[in-house]
Amino acid sequence: MEETKDQPKGEPEMQLHDQLFYIFLALGAFFTGVADAVCDPKAAIILGGNFTWLVEGIQLKYECPDGKYPYPAEVLSCYRGSWINMQDSLKKPVRRSQCRDIRCPRPLEFENGLYEPRQPYYNISQELTFECYQGYTLRGSQNRTCLPNGKWSGQTTICDDGAGRCPNPGVPIGARKDGTRYRIEDRVRYYCDNKLALMGSKYRVCQESGAWTGSEPECRSPFTYDTPEEVSSKFIGSLTEVAESSDPDKIVSDTEKRRIKISPGGSMNIYIVLDASQSVGKQKFNEAKDVISKLIEKVSSYDVTPNYGIITFATNPKVIVSTTDPDSSKAFFVIDELEKLQHADHLLKPGTNLKAGLTSVYEMMVNQQEDERHRGLDPLPIISTTRHVIILLTDGNYNMGGDPSPVIRQIREFLHIGRNRAEHREDYLDVYVFGIGNLVNIEKVNELASKKNGEQHIFKLKEIEDLQKAFDEMIDESEAFSMCGLAKEYESADNEEKNPWLVSISILRSGRGTEACKGALVSEKYILTAAHCFTIDDRADQITVKIGKKNMEVASLKSHPQYTVGKLRNLGIPEFYDYDVALLELKEKITLNSQARAICLPCTAGTTRALRRPHPQTTCRDHEEELMAVGIVKALFVTPCRDKYTSTRGLRRRTVRIKNNDKKQSCEADAIKAKQYENVTDVSQVVTERFLCTGGTEPEVDPNTCKGDSGGPLIIAKRMRYIQVGVISWGVVEVCKSTPPMECQSDKEFQEHAPSHARDFHISIFKVLPWLREELRDEGLDFLN
Ligand SMILES: *[C@@H]1O[C@H](CO)[C@@H](O)[C@H](O)[C@H]1NC(C)=O
Ligand SMILES: *[C@@H]1O[C@H](CO)[C@@H](O)[C@H](O)[C@H]1NC(C)=O
Ligand SMILES: *[C@@H]1O[C@H](CO)[C@@H](O)[C@H](O)[C@H]1NC(C)=O
Ligand SMILES: *[C@@H]1O[C@H](CO)[C@@H](O)[C@H](O)[C@H]1NC(C)=O
């Protein structure tokens, strides 16, 4: 057994000047000029890596290649002219930062057995092998591998002789344990090695049932983060458990386990508490909002409709949705309320008052209790049958309002949890904490998180994007490929994953090269595109399509029967694009995956679900009202771009505004400025009611589609889902002819120099529904009336 000196650590107290400094830092984001001493960015250069600004000139974050971590700190702040680590109480200037190798901690103690090799630390991919002395049985993993994030693979290895009432709880790597007797009421206590933070239970008590209280502790290096895969499996595993266990008689199989269900009469409240303080950047705040939408989306994709309570907090808390709101169980309502939320709402009071945030949760419970009392309910469901799940997202260190843990105790007391042993009510409250980034004091928030046997309630993630990935992953592992209009959202997803319905179409014409168009996958077998991409002589075998990274062959091509490009030639109008839509049927069904999945078509059951509306009560009319009702409708199309660094082709989404109602006329009037329409006397000759109009400079400058974009989808994004409302048909001006595709990384939203009459026209899906309904009748899309 290894002997090391290890002192139990006390909770470091936050000093007043720390608090003021944090506030100053956060304010710095908005009043950069106020800083009294500037820091030289060159003095912050890191060997082997680089940095990005969290707050320009004031706070930076290092990035190191995989397998390395920034030493001595990940985040540096400018303080009196020097770069310092905020976690360092002495505020010593940091001189030479470097990217160091990530290593795994060594076992401090291993009871009743041996392990090898014995080293002061372990490199990534090194292996530890354990062996028990005679008479002891090995539980957990015999071999463990050091993972790239500095964790050990597998489970804690334990050599147990089975003599206790409870099994030997073991000693996690990096920890030491006090207590070696495992009878009822016996207690063990854990300590972590000096540089490691303890997550999970510090104390565990052997219960009469033969199980230990709390959850296994983990001793974690400051540079170790949970990966998105770890979060998605452990969080959804635990959350599923929470809802599932509300029906104790049910035996669940492994496949069924993934469905969250609640027993009749039972209900679930999910409180989401979002830290809006350190998320100074608007972008980060929006990302956090997206993450929450995604989580709500995920939960409602199961058979469960919890009531949501949503609270953001900085110096003061702000209730976005209360569980007592009659609409709080409607996912679309909750997501809409969330989307309305502005970061500016917390702008001038950027402290981190976590206690106040949690107090709002408590108050919501009290209000709900009052409500239920008024309604004469007895017993009160909030206390007797409702399961409460608190999800806390924070990327800062709380610095105002004091210690939030008494509020958790207050909530437990309110819910009658832990009052007496006979009545086991721990199941009625779960507190999950997601700490994002390096500023979170993980040991402090660990106090708040629930500790339950075999579950994980506290997660430390590198950045908000990892949480987004984790929730994405949870969506993917369900039956979700068949759900329409889902895409991966996070930055590092590839182009196909971000636009998995986008199809490239090539038509090979002997002697005349190839013609390129775009289309959208609308089912496993069909692609919707524009009819004008094809000539009357084109045959299916001349057409190939690329979906994701896969080339597919086409079985048949069918244009809309009313599409007749030459219909108005006798009036001197050479081209006419009414009903400019076509369907390509694939020879074989495509296997749906993250790079190839269908977009939602309006007036289908899939879109009703995407909009989180009740099915089958929701009608086609409801879809049109929700998607197209207002005068200016934001939509998007996807177009090629050129990577600034590698010059390879990428894709980018461009936002345009569909002009409806009163704005429609002036948009359509510009059609006659098209070269081919010089003989048009009345714009309604060429712009029929089938068209949607985008482009121009009012109310904002819209980007324009280019020739190769023809046939691609015009999309409305709603609640993280993508619904096709148009097929790109033609434009008044060819704006892209001379200019190469724009840089993917460019901040610009539009091409410069496009005239105000540069309008684009798209066939409205709502106007060609009878044809789609007929052609796609066997595709299982379940068209609505
Ligand atoms: C940061 O450093 C990595 C190498 O560690 C490099 O690949 C990357 O391009 C750098 N990023 C920026 C923005 O300079
Ligand atoms: C671990 O990595 C360091 C630095 O890369 C190297 O010097 C050392 O030999 C490695 N140790 C083992 C046991 O592989
Ligand atoms: C552990 O590693 C040893 C030697 O490397 C090997 O013989 C053994 O089969 C491994 N055990 C397990 C459970 O993988
Ligand atoms: C407009 O009509 C005139 C006379 O019929 C014809 O010569 C001309 O080509 C037409 N313009 C276009 C763009 O087709």
Q: What whole-number distance in Å separates Cα of residue 417 and Cα of residue 410?
A: 10
- The region of weakest confidence among 318-332, 516-530, 768-782 is 318-332
pLDDT for res 480: 55
**How far is residue 379 from each of residues 154, 166, 269, 550, 726, measured CA to CA in Å?**
45, 36, 17, 59, 53
Q: Atom of ligand 3 at shortest distance to CA of 143?
A: 1
Choose, from 580, 670, 709, 760, the residue flagged as catalytic: 580
Q: What whole-number distance in Å separates Cα of residue 100 and Cα of residue 65?
A: 10
Residue range 496-775 in CATH 2.30.29.30: no
Indicate which ligand has the atom closest to the C-alpha of 117.
Answer: 2
- The region of weakest confidence among 267-281, 292-306, 502-516, 612-626 is 292-306
pLDDT for res 55: 81
- CA 144 to centroid of ligand 3, rounded, Å: 10
| Residue 265 or residue 422, greater confidence | 422
Q: Atom of ligand 3 at shortest distance to CA of 142?
A: 13
Q: What homologous superfamily is domain 228-480 in, according to CATH?
A: von Willebrand factor, type A domain (3.40.50.410)
- CA 292 to centroid of ligand 1, rounded, Å: 30
- The pLDDT tens digits for 667-700 are 999 999 999 999 999 999 999 999 999 999 888 8
Choose, from 300, 710, 729, 764, the residue flagged as catalytic: 710
- The pLDDT tens digits for 125-161 are 999 999 999 999 999 899 999 999 999 998 899 999 9
Q: Show the tokens assigned to 134.
A: 């005679």
Q: Is the pLDDT of residue 328 over 80?
A: yes
Buried b (16+ CB within 10 A) or exposed e, 643-663: eeeeeeebbbebebbbbbeeb
Buried b (16+ CB within 10 A) or exposed e, 462-477: bbbbbbbbbbbbbbee
Q: Say which residues have a Cβ less than 8 Å from residue 277's Cβ, sequence separation at least 6.
A: 26, 313, 314, 315, 346, 350, 351, 352, 353, 396
- The mean pLDDT of 244-254, rounded to a whole number, is 39
Q: Is the pLDDT of residue 22 over 50?
A: no
- The pLDDT tens digits for 394-447 are 887 777 888 999 999 999 999 998 876 666 788 789 899 999 888 788 888 999
Ranges 51-55, 136-140, 642-646, most confident: 136-140
- Domain with residues 104-220, CATH architecture: Ribbon (2.10)
Q: How far apart are the first and last CA of the chain?
A: 73
The domain spans of the chain are: 16-101, 104-220, 228-480, 496-775
572 lines ligand 4 (CB under 6 A): yes
Q: Do domains 228-480 and 496-775 have the same CATH topology?
A: no
- CA 703 to centroid of ligand 4, rounded, Å: 30
pLDDT for res 288: 84
- The pLDDT tens digits for 471-524 are 777 654 445 566 788 887 767 778 888 899 999 999 998 888 888 999 999 999
| Cβ atoms within 10 Å of 129's Cβ, excluding its own | 13
Q: Is 757 strand, coil or helix? A: coil
pLDDT for res 752: 66
Q: Is the pLDDT of residue 113 over 90?
A: yes
pLDDT for res 34: 41
Going by CA atoms, what residue is nearest to atom 5 of ligand 4? 572
CATH classification code of 16-101: 2.10.70.10
Q: What whole-number distance in Å separates Cα of residue 210 and Cα of residue 700?
A: 67
Going by CA atoms, what residue is nearest to atom 1 of ligand 2? 123
Q: Confidence class of residue 248 from pLDDT cuts 50, 70 and 90?
A: very low
* 738 catalytic per annotation: no
Q: Is the pLDDT of residue 251 over 80?
A: no
Q: Atom of ligand 1 at shortest distance to CA of 99?
A: 5
- The mean pLDDT of 582-586, rounded to a whole number, is 97
- CA 733 to centroid of ligand 4, rounded, Å: 18
- The mean pLDDT of 183-195, rounded to a whole number, is 94
Q: What whole-number distance in Å separates Cα of residue 28 and Cα of residue 191?
A: 38
pLDDT for res 542: 94
* 580 catalytic per annotation: yes
- CA 50 to centroid of ligand 1, rounded, Å: 6
Pocket of ligand 1 (CB under 6 A): 49-50, 65
Indicate which ligand has the atom closest to the C-alpha of 106.
Answer: 2
